[in-house]
Amino acid sequence: MENKTNQQLLELRTQHVPRGPFNVAPIFVKRAQGAMIEDVEGKTYIDFGGGIGVVNVGHCNEKIVAAIQDQAQQYLHTCFHISMYEPYVVLAKRLNEITPGDFPKKTFFVNSGAEAVENAVKIARYATKKQGIIAFENAFHGRTYMGMSLTSKVKPYKSGFAPFCPEVYRMPFAYCYRCPFGRSYPSCDIYCADALEDFFIGYAEAESVAAVIAEPVQGEGGFVVPPVEYFKKIMAICEKNGVLFIMDEIQSGMGRTGKLFASEHFGVEPDIILTAKSLAAGLPLAGVTGKADVMEMPPVGSLGGTFGGNPVSCRAALAVLDFLNEDFLLKSQELGERVRGHFLDLQKEFPIIGDVRGLGLMLAMELVEDRQTKAPATEKAKALVSRCLEKGLIVLACGNHGNVIRTLMPLVITEEQLEKGCSILKEGLNEISGV
């Protein structure tokens, strides 16, 4: 590559790439290592975005790179449907073993999170011979037609792209900070989960619903963490009504919440569980894992694709799973507690921080104009993201109103980098709120 400046590359980007694929930072990367990114002009950034939760094991983790290099020297692609290879089946076995649920499972691979969502819906519909899919308010499940139909936020994800996939229903989620039912935890007795029973009466009969799909911690929707009892209740209602439960762990999985899967925090064993993002540390790979009897239903040839389960991606994923051992996850839990402590301290200092929430290193602060009205501080969140960038910290916003600042830093981040990142956030908060 020639040595170009960020500005020169930005001009090329603007000229040759449509605006639809968004960019958070107007920088171009030269190299990335661990939790640090260096741009083409030599400026370094602490990465609290992790490529949107993709590099939990760190940028260019040497164990993963070694596995990738080793595989790349043997074969890059044969297509699993034409001539099979060991990394695919070994990875499927590993995921069947480590995903929640001590029952027989099967896994197959596709290329992206959205594609995993598509396939989960296909399988659920085929297996149940029913059509309805219930998703949640604030959900994000990708940008393909089914992914987008299941996604909640209208702009920019859905606006202008209608018609959407039919038989998709939406019910309120357990967003305690803004309870859709106006109640408060724990006196609510998790009414929002019981509401699924009413949903089957008032909106879509269970006899025509194939599955409920949820994120254990909503990602793009604002890092919303439901009460610990929530999913058990939801799953019990699903089971009673012959409805499958699909857990989308695409953003929350692979150690992000301090456990391998966020479902473990809730003690639930979904019928189908989806992995992507950090599964292969930056190479495209997504897994659809589910109860064996359900997964076996669709006939030969009905699932798959040319690139799904590419051998290099599978080798990377096997190395990721080796890396995410118990000690490592324990350490990331400790780091999570440290960041939560910082965020709670910041909340005491800055009235703009209405809520601090999250699990492990999947943490967020929701910014509001006023703690009483909870009016979303969307513009201030935007300003904070750009102030942080100027100071050398990449951080992302999320939420239906874009007013939630979230952390998706590599779990290998050093304490020093973490502290520095948090102090940049504090400086940025100072500047945007004028405290």
Ligand X SMILES: Cc1ncc(COP(=O)(O)O)c(C=O)c1O
Of 4-12, 136-144, 152-160, 355-363: span binding ligand X (CB under 6 A): 136-144
The single residue listed with the structure tokens 């012959």 is 242
Q: Where are the beta strands (DSSP E) in 186-230?
A: 209-214
Q: How far apart are CA 143 and CA 124, in angstroms?
A: 20
Regarding 215 and contact with ligand X (CB under 6 A), the answer is: yes
Please provide residue 215's backbone torsions phi and psi, each rounded to the nearest 5 degrees.
Answer: -100, 135
Q: What angle do CA 183, 188, 192 make, to 5 degrees?
A: 80
Report, in Å, the least distance between residue 391 CB and ligand X: 26
Comparison of 61 and 278: residue with beta carbon closer to ligand X:
278
Regarding 250 and contact with ligand X (CB under 6 A), the answer is: yes
Regarding 121 and contact with ligand X (CB under 6 A), the answer is: no
Report, in Å, the least distance between residue 307 CB and ligand X: 13
Of 63-71, 110-118, 325-333, 350-358: span binding ligand X (CB under 6 A): 110-118
Task: Name the nearest CA neighbour of 362 among 52, 24, 2, 110.
Answer: 52
Comparison of 50 and 428: residue with beta carbon closer to ligand X:
50
Q: Which of 34, 58, 142, 282 binds ligand X (CB under 6 A)?
A: 142
Q: How far apart are CA 69 and CA 88, in angstroms?
A: 17
Report, in Å, the least distance between residue 353 CB and ligand X: 23
Of 98-106, 113-121, 176-184, 358-366: span binding ligand X (CB under 6 A): 113-121
Task: With CB under 6 A as the rule, give the number of residues binding ligand X.
Answer: 15
Regarding 402 and contact with ligand X (CB under 6 A), the answer is: no
Report, in Å, the least distance between residue 143 CB and ligand X: 6
Q: Which of 55, 92, 117, 262 binds ligand X (CB under 6 A)?
A: 117
Q: What angle do CA 113, 360, 229 make, to 5 degrees?
A: 85
Q: Give the tokens for residue 137.
A: 């308010």
Q: Which of 96, 112, 119, 263 binds ligand X (CB under 6 A)?
A: 112
Report, in Å, the least distance between residue 213 CB and ligand X: 9
Report, in Å, the least distance between residue 375 CB and ligand X: 26
Q: 367: helix, coil or strand?
A: strand
Report, in Å, the least distance between residue 117 CB and ligand X: 6
Q: DSSP labels for 85-154?
A: -HHHHHHHHHHHHHSS-SS-EEEEEESSHHHHHHHHHHHHHHHHT--EEEEETT----SSHHHHHH----
Comparison of 404 and 422: residue with beta carbon closer to ligand X:
404
Report, in Å, the least distance between residue 372 CB and ligand X: 31
Regarding 276 and contact with ligand X (CB under 6 A), the answer is: yes
Q: Which of 9, 24, 29, 52 binds ligand X (CB under 6 A)?
A: 52
Of 40-48, 212-220, 310-318, 329-337: span binding ligand X (CB under 6 A): 212-220
Comparison of 95 and 346: residue with beta carbon closer to ligand X:
95
Regarding 278 and contact with ligand X (CB under 6 A), the answer is: no
Comparison of 112 and 403: residue with beta carbon closer to ligand X:
112
Q: How many helices (H) and strands (E) does the chain have?
A: 14, 15
**β-bridge pairing 404-406 and 272-275:** unpaired
Q: Are 405 and 421 in contact (CB under 8 A)?
A: no
Q: Which of 59, 130, 141, 315 binds ligand X (CB under 6 A)?
A: 141
Regarding 432 and contact with ligand X (CB under 6 A), the answer is: no
The span from the first CA to the last CA of the chain, in angstroms, equals: 45
431 sits in which H/E element: helix 415-433
Q: What angle do CA 87, 68, 307 make, to 5 degrees?
A: 60
Q: What angle do CA 370, 376, 382 make, to 5 degrees?
A: 115
In the complex, the residues that contact ligand X under the rule CB under 6 A are 52, 112-114, 117, 140-142, 215, 219-220, 248, 250-251, 276
